[in-house]
Amino acid sequence: MVMGSLPEEVDLAVVGGGVGGYVAAIRGAELGLSVALVEKEKLGGHCLNYACIPSKTLIHISDLFYQMKNAERFGITAGNVKIDAKKMLEWRTLVSKRLEDGVAFLCKSNGIEVVKGTATFLSSNTLQLTNGTSLDFKKAIIATGSMPVKLSGFDLGGNTIDYREALMLDHIPKSMAIIGASYVAVEIGTLYAKFGTEVHIIARSDVLSHFDPDAAALVKRRMAELGVKVHAGAEPVSHTAATVKLSTGEEISSEIIVVAVGLSPYTEGLELGNTKVKLDRKGFVIVDSTLTTTDPNILAIGDVAGEPMLAHKAIRQGVVAAEAASGMKSGYDNLVVPAVIFSDPEVAIAGTLSGDGVSVTKFPLTAVGRAIALGSEMGFVKIAYDKENLVKGVEIVGQDANAMIAEAALAIEMGATLEDIADTIHPHPTFSEAVQEAAEAALGRPMHFFYGKREAKP
């Protein structure tokens, strides 16, 4: 389907209508380019329809359900709280549909031609479209994203599903075995555990093994409290319709098996061999600082262009790529891409907590009034800084970490110091005070936590 009559040539062709792709298309249109956007499924792509938005929608619902069932300490008895899984799925689907419709409206309003289907590169200036027509372009942006990695011996079908399908269930399974140990496995496992599902996570090493051990320890402790069983140091070797056999000899009975072992860049069907575009050994499209590929007419953004595979990185790169395609001297030079795990407690990090000459100070949420009032004291803020007190990284573990981490990203991008954060008035009572308190503690002047006698910095 085409929104209008497709021209024979456009200034900018964007292949992939996910969050990076549609942003690139909009920015290109804002700059006066004629733009065509090709999307084979739904506008908003993976994030809006199958991953980011659906998972956070369901996590919110599971949090509400769990809080209502466990509110006695606040003097609230909710009685027999029930979950209607079909209605929950309806809401999750409605949220994605509203956002998809919003993207379609923005594309139409900006004069972007939206083409339903796939695109194949015939050359460095021409695309072959599904509808049989060809489209010449001056510049193209590849924004095809990523796909779930397949696991040998665990073909999808029946009760074996990927994480996208786990977010589309119309019932609450009695048991679930999740193969994988990344943030995706943690998020899905936690949300279903709060609904009452018996959850097993099968981890080759351990959950969140690439994250700060202090943060991972708190998340694992909370998962254990929720009844999640982590099988660390185990690999799945075979399965039947109802069981998964592990390398340790264990057998896990499970109604649903979820394969969540990672993502791989998606370039299938693009026929990049007809262009000068090159891939690296991991299958990512090679780009430079302007996000231009090894073909000067073609740019690439988001998951297909390398790690980290995060939607907000793709959005920023979409803006930069469109500007570069229009002739602006724009470059992708961001110092930091913040990351958030919507676990319980949440984990968010911007920058780094290590490096030569880098020191780290930790401030606990047990000393934050807002955290105590809400009964949400599990967590901390870590702030990393160099000898000149420049902020190099911040990690936030706890409620609302997802919202607070933007302050840290801005601080690092602007070259802020500990003093800049410590001397900025943070509203009280909020969780954000923990970031200010961490900076004050790093300066040797803690207000609400006693670290022992030490000399304050001038």
Q: Which residues are catalytic?
A: 428
Q: Which two tokens stand for residue 172?
A: 């609450």
> How many Å apart are CA 129 and CA 122, to the nearest integer?
10
Spell out a b/e string for 436-454, using b for 16 or more CB atoms within 10 Å of the CB, else e.
bbbbbbbbeebeebeeeee
Helices (H), 177-241: 183-194, 213-225
Q: Is 218 exposed, middle or buried (0-12, 13-18, 19+ CB in 10 A)?
A: buried
As a whole number of angstroms, the distance between CA 388 and CA 442 comes to 12
For the purposes of burial, counting CB atoms within 10 Å of the CB of 41, is it exposed (0-12), middle (13-18) or buried (19 or more)?
Answer: middle
Structural element, H or E, at residue 408? helix 401-414
Strand-pair category, 198-203 with 175-179: parallel
Token readout for 67 is: 């809080």
Written as one letter, the residue type at 133 is T
Nearest to 52 by CA among 315, 299, 305: 315
End-to-end CA distance of the chain: 66
Contacts of 219 (CB under 8 A, 6+ apart): 186, 207, 208, 341, 343, 344, 345, 347
